[in-house]
């Protein structure tokens, strides 16, 4: 099957090159290319489309192969002092904002779209977070104010782990009661705190090891083991692998760099993870578009349209309510943060991992895919215009 991936990578690299020449965000062009390849009857592409768009391949590629690498790359390059300086808005958005979005999407989908409680909870969890893969790749191309970029990047990394936990809880929730809310809250706390602990421990140990080594090849290899290792250990204990990778990357990127990485190691490691992130992003965004060939949209357009409006409304309310508690936040930044709340491949991958027997899976998949494509093609392409309109440097 290696030839499928070589063809896909060749297409992705060519489109990314075209995006660079036309000064467009490459995720957008990749999704458009994937949609066209998925919709057009191209006989020589049928076998590749069937393979790439299969549930198992998409989920494995996003979650098992690239997720740890992409989150680790983003986390290791975040400067801890900048995160610390902006911890208030990051925490407000990633915790309070995510929960507000989750509750609003769940409630509005249940009331206005007629979804059952469990389907509404699952969709609310999938839409509660911004996707770090989408957000980071598009925001980097805008060259925004570093403080604003740090807040957006920090939120996307933190709330992604929160949303994954909410999703897992929502899958097994069929009724709401005081006992179920208490159990859910305790499970949430356990999964998040446990994931943090594993990430911090892993990051600390890796940092101490790098302080005794002066070989960039070994240290880069250790960073690979760290990111994938903490994810697997956390998931093995039913904790948050995403949150583990975030904290492991933050610790290695700050404490590890300060106590034991040479300038050569820093340069080589940044370059290595930049290449891996580019390949991962390019393949994933192209695969998102190709996934259209695997989704049934028949008789679902009302729910799809309604869900897009609901998700946008919930995001804006969540951002403005959360950031009302931060008096230092410039008012011009709030609509950018709200409109920049992009959805991405992880939401689709999580849903593809649900059993086909799950009631309403096809509807939720069509709604989730449509919201992801809308956020990438509409929000992603107009974000730079909004930045210019608001005169944010």
DSSP sequence for 53-109: TSHHHHHIIIIIIIHHHHHHHHHHHS-HHHHHHTHHHHHIIIIIIHHHHHHHHHHHH
Neighbours of 196 (CB within 10 A): 19
User: How high is the pLDDT of residue 391?
Assistant: 83
pLDDT, average across residues 90-107: 93
CA angle, 95 then 364 then 283, to 5°: 80
Asked if pLDDT for residue 136 goes beyond 60, the answer is: yes
Q: Give the separation between CA 240 and CA 297, rounded to whole angstroms.
A: 32
Q: State the average pLDDT over residues 273-285.
A: 90
The region that residue 165 occupies, defined by phi over 0 for left and psi between -120 and 50 for alpha, beta otherwise, is: alpha
For the segment 12-67, what is each residue's pLDDT rounded down to a tens digit? Answer: 999 989 988 887 778 888 899 999 999 888 887 888 888 888 888 999 999 999 99
Beta-carbon contacts of 256 under 8 Å, excluding residues fewer than 6 positions away, are 203, 206, 207, 210, 211
Residue 188's pLDDT is 82
pLDDT, position 69: 93
Higher pLDDT pick, 56 / 139: 56
- Interval 94-113 mean pLDDT: 94
Count other C-beta atoms under 10 Å from residue 232's C-beta.
13
pLDDT at 182: 75
Q: Which tokens go with 311?
A: 């998700």
pLDDT digits (tens, 9 = 90+) for 287-310: 999 999 889 898 999 999 999 999
* Residue 195, helix vs strand vs coil: helix
How does residue 177 score in pLDDT terms, banded at 50, 70 and 90?
low
Q: Give the model confidence (pLDDT) of 198-217 as tens digits.
A: 999 999 999 999 999 999 99
Per-residue pLDDT tens digits for 331-369: 999 999 999 888 888 899 999 988 888 889 999 999 999
Q: Which phi-psi region, left, alpha or beta, contains residue 129 (left: φ > 0; alpha: ψ -120 to 50)? A: beta
Q: Tokens 């410039």 sit at which residue?
A: 330
Contacts of 43 (CB under 8 A, 6+ apart): none
Cα–Cα separations (whole angstroms), residue 148 to 15, 123, 212: 29, 28, 36
């Amino acid at each position: 099957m290696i030839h499928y991936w070589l063809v896909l990578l060749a297409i992705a690299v060519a489109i990314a090159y075209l995006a660079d020449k036309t000064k467009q965000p490459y995720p957008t062009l990749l999704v458009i290319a994937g949609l066209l390849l998925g919709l057009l009857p191209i006989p020589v592409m049928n076998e590749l489309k069937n393979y790439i768009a299969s549930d198992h391949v998409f989920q494995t590629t996003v979650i098992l192969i690239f997720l740890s690498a992409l989150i680790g790359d983003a986390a290791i390059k975040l400067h801890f002092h900048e995160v610390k300086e902006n911890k208030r808005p990051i925490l407000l958005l990633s915790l309070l904002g995510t929960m507000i979005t989750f509750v609003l999407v769940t409630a509005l989908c249940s009331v206005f779209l007629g979804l059952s409680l469990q389907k509404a909870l699952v969709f609310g969890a999938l839409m509660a977070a911004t996707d770090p893969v989408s957000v980071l790749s598009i925001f980097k191309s805008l060259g925004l104010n570093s403080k604003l970029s740090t807040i957006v990047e920090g939120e996307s990394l933190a709330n992604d782990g929160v949303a994954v936990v909410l999703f897992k809880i929502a899958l097994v929730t069929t009724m709401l009661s005081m006992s179920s809310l208490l159990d859910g809250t305790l499970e949430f706390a356990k999964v998040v705190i446990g994931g943090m602990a594993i990430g911090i421990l892993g990051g600390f140990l890796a940092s101490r090891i790098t302080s005794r080594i002066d070989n960039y090849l070994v240290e880069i290899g250790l960073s690979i083991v760290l990111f994938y290792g903490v994810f697997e250990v956390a998931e093995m204990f039913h904790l948050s692998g995403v949150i583990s990778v975030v904290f492991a990357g933050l610790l290695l990127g700050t404490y590890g760099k300060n106590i034991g990485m040479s300038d050569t190691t820093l340069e080589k490691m940044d370059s290595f993870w930049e290449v891996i992130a580019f390949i991962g992003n390019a393949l994933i965004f192209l695969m998102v578009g190709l996934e259209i060939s695997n989704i049934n949209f028949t008789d679902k357009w009302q729910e799809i349209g309604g869900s897009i409006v609901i998700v946008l409304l919930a995001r804006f309310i969540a951002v403005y309510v959360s950031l009302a508690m931060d008096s230092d936040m410039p008012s011009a930044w709030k609509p950018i943060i709200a409109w920049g709340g992009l959805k991405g491949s992880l939401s689709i991958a999580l849903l593809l991992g649900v059993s086909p027997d799950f009631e309403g899976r096809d509807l939720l998949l069509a709604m989730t895919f449509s919201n992801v494509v809308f956020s990438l093609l509409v929000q992603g392409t107009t974000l730079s215009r909004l930045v210019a309109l608001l005169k944010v440097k």
